[in-house]
Structure 1
């Protein structure tokens, strides 16, 4: 009798080992996994035969000492590790070696098998407690002593606990959205407007998290059956960058950082979610200002206009003086250079006609009057048009345009080292000041803006009397930017968040939340209803003319007066010199 019992005990592992292998393949098949990766060193010796007899799913057999395998080469793997189950410290060391290579892949499924037939469930409790503290999720366990009956796993919510289930259980691993049983989901928003808007409700005094990212986490907490809770460290109006939020997540201060980050490096893929938003980040440049009123007179008195006026005056002066010379009347050289009647006629002023007027003279004066009328009309129409619609200065649309106009590009202290290579004038501020300047519509600077932010601002501009900014795609910082959530290593929420991102984009919820940005900003008091373009218009172009508007006219008048006085003094001096010379000679 004792011989039969001893034989059963010795051969039991061999007889039932197939049940564990079948369980492993069933887990891989139920979750549509593509490959099984087994660390075989401490597995039962007959596993190799049973594993390779099953050809439904590819299998990669590894040794515990192998570290050169690149996990990224495999899509949707199931990781299996066997522990000897004799010494607890050795099991924990092997577990750490097994999970250290999977730190960046928390969503991948894992199975731990304890090969010692005499191990009890207490050993599995120690293993799972270590997994809990090391933030290792999606793991189930098998004991050699009862592998044909149960498998083990642990739950985080509402508190840490382990459980065992029958091998015939319909669910092996937790579903994509674990049930948190009302446990608080601690969120830290970065408050980067307009995606993450945090404000205090005036009626209830409670903090409200809005914006597209804020609304996303409201839905996430509902899907997880959790209670959304803002971190105690959050301060309304204080902006945080992605690095600070990630540090808070790694220290367990917050569960999820509510912050979208641009994916710039391949290294970020391991700790990032599915892209929440695909956008481009380009220049938001202030609309070129209208030229000052004083420059309007300068434009009308341009060199080409003055040259044309001189040519017309000289032509008519030449014609009048040639006609005068043909009638044997006195003609002076100065009349050829500047004829007073031709000048007055061009300017539309009256003058006395000569007593003896021939038909040719009358015809010339008639043509002179018509030309003077046209010149006066053209000048008046041009002046009225430019006064009503002054032309604008050069419109910057690229980095080269910013360098030409010397418009500073506002950047944050964190981004300044990256953007130095642009070689444009820059204004370096902190994140809070950056948002204050951009949301305050400060037209003295240029900014980087995503397409989402520009859509919000363009909706606001429709209420203004005129545009304040343009969105130029001539020069973009990122022509295709992927915005996603960045997680600390082994975050429990990587898979649920990525799954929810796919759902909200497929159902159009995210587009609806984006359309609510203006409402959220207004409710938070961050988007005023006033029209800043009115103040800017009054400052740039007041309703009445000022003395400074006639700057160029005063300068021209003063210059010509000085020239006239100098010419007059020169004539007086020349007259006296010639008179003295004549008196000395005669």
Structure 2
């Protein structure tokens, strides 16, 4: 029995030794050393913090303990969870069919990640590059088991034939390149919404080609030039519509019919922004309100007369009347209600008119008259300054201060059905403050835009701050502004406008980088400032004065002083009544009646 156990132990020891000898075969060790150098070089070119290994065990697994980097091993080739690591990742794949990822969010996050694939000797790199390009994954490098002998790395190159390159490890050549820096004339499919002034189409007379203007189109044109690509405008009639709107463009982006939409989608319209890029514009959504009309001249007289100031002047008149009555004889004997309220000297003095001065006045009366004359100069100068200023530039009628005030004005809010549906779906509190009777809803989007572009002052319009800049530029050619942007009447102060993108667009990062660089260098602001002149150039706008300038008369009309005449006639009528009562001795008769009734 003891001998049997000894034989069994030696057999097991021999088997373990054989396995150890196979693992540590010199060729395998050399291959591991060469691949370790590759991984270290990749880390120097672009640092990675996480390794993701697909497939069953291969030479990559034995390297993991030597690298000491956080590693996720997926033997089945697919994960059932969302890849949530924020670190830079390097994917190692054990075989051409090892990676079978099915999670859409993980595919999107790992789309541009670098991949190193371990191939069998009989596998063709060209087929592997084609396979991965169909999945829109282009940062692919491959090594074969004979790598320790040839030091050859196969790297996929998308826009060339053949679609890969053989590179020597020790050659001074990058393993991974940005394939889309030069697309070699490849088409970028797009559809334009032709929404002025963002996108404006015209036909080049020299070449006969359809070209685009507008600050969104300029960004798309420069992007295609940067990548050495060309824009292919997908035929809209073939898609079954006459005019492309943002909603349809977003749907085409989801269905991969187009790559990048020449349009902008707002954060108010869509909650799921998977098919939209980084925000291109940040703007507000406010009301474009007609400038209040100037008050007529006949109302100016009532505008300069403030009730509080009138009360103060009346109290001054009463005070001067009391002082004049007392200082004339230094006695209160003549102080009556009539002498206070209807004092001729005090009233005429405050109005800046002459009045009889008593002979041999005392110094107290002189001082009161001096103060009275000074007050009259101040009052008449003040009112004359107000009157001349208001005649030169009359004040405006009351303006809208809140959304509830819209119901108190004659103008209605003209708005499209699309915008109404969006505001209702968002349960916008400001929109709910507007009565339905003061809304004019247009089902036809184009008719609504034509109405707004006509500067019809019978309506109020919602407008983005971005679009308002074009209207503001156009109004510089008006005799006087017709509309103003009510910055305190905004449905939303901050809206994100993004460009529709295909979800798995492989050069999304290049597009967003290009877009932000345009902002950084001020090109977007410049394009926006020039958009109105481009509209004029294409005949989509004109420099015609659409304002309704008020005609300035050379002199006042009778209607302009109607209130003054009415007050004058009223005062004359009151004077006549008082004169009649005076000559009829009505006061004496009333006094006798009072005494008779009293006694």
TM-score range, shorter chain: 0.5 to 0.7
What is the 5 A alignment of 1:166-565?
A: 166=166, 168=168, 170=173, 173=176, 175-177=178-180, 179-194=182-197, 196-201=198-203, 207-233=210-236, 240-241=245-246, 243-261=247-265, 273-274=277-278, 276=280, 279=282, 281=284, 290-315=294-319, 334-339=338-343, 343=347, 346-347=350-351, 358-360=359-361, 375-392=379-396, 412-413=419-420, 415-417=422-424, 418=426, 420-422=428-430, 432=446, 445=460, 449-450=464-465, 484-501=498-515, 503-504=517-518, 509-510=523-524, 512-532=526-546, 535-538=547-550, 549=560, 553=564
What is the 5 A alignment of 1:138-157?
A: 138=138, 140=140, 151=154, 153=156, 155=158
2:72 alignment partner, SS class:
strand
With over 3 angstroms needed to count, the CA separation of the structure-2 counterparts of 1:518 and 1:335, relative to structure 1, is same
Q: Does structure 1 conserve the Cα–Cα contact (< 8 Å) formed by 2:112 and 2:139?
A: no
With over 3 angstroms needed to count, the CA separation of the structure-2 counterparts of 1:40 and 1:348, relative to structure 1, is closer
- 1:118 and 1:192 mapped to 2: Cα distance? 55
2:107 alignment partner, SS class:
coil
User: How far off its partner does 1:309 sit?
Assistant: 4.0
What is the 5 A alignment of 1:69-108?
A: 70-82=82-94, 95=100, 97=102, 101-103=106-108, 106-108=111-113
Deviations 1:408-433 (A, max 9, x none): 88873364244713468566767656
Deviations 1:361-396 (A, max 9, x none): 997889878866765554333211221133456777
Point out where structure 2 has 5 or more consecutive residues left out of the alignment: 1-21
Q: Does structure 2 conserve the Cα–Cα contact (< 8 Å) formed by 1:406 and 1:425?
A: no
Q: Does structure 2 conserve the Cα–Cα contact (< 8 Å) formed by 1:250 and 1:488?
A: yes
Q: How many residue pairs are counted as aligned between the two chains?
A: 548
1:228 alignment partner, SS class:
strand
Partner of 1:38: 52
User: How far off its partner does 1:248 sit?
Assistant: 1.5
Indicate the larger mover: 342-351 or 31-40. 342-351
Q: Does structure 1 conserve the Cα–Cα contact (< 8 Å) formed by 2:60 and 2:92?
A: no
Partner of 2:39: 25
Deviations 1:136-155 (A, max 9, x none): 33264859799887758584
Q: TM-score if structure 2 supplies the norm length?
A: 0.67
- 1:121 and 1:168 mapped to 2: Cα distance? 15
Q: Does structure 2 conserve the Cα–Cα contact (< 8 Å) formed by 1:276 and 1:482?
A: yes
User: How far off its partner does 1:198 sit?
Assistant: 0.7
Q: TM-score if structure 1 supplies the norm length?
A: 0.68
Partner of 2:60: 47
With over 3 angstroms needed to count, the CA separation of the structure-2 counterparts of 1:122 and 1:339, relative to structure 1, is closer
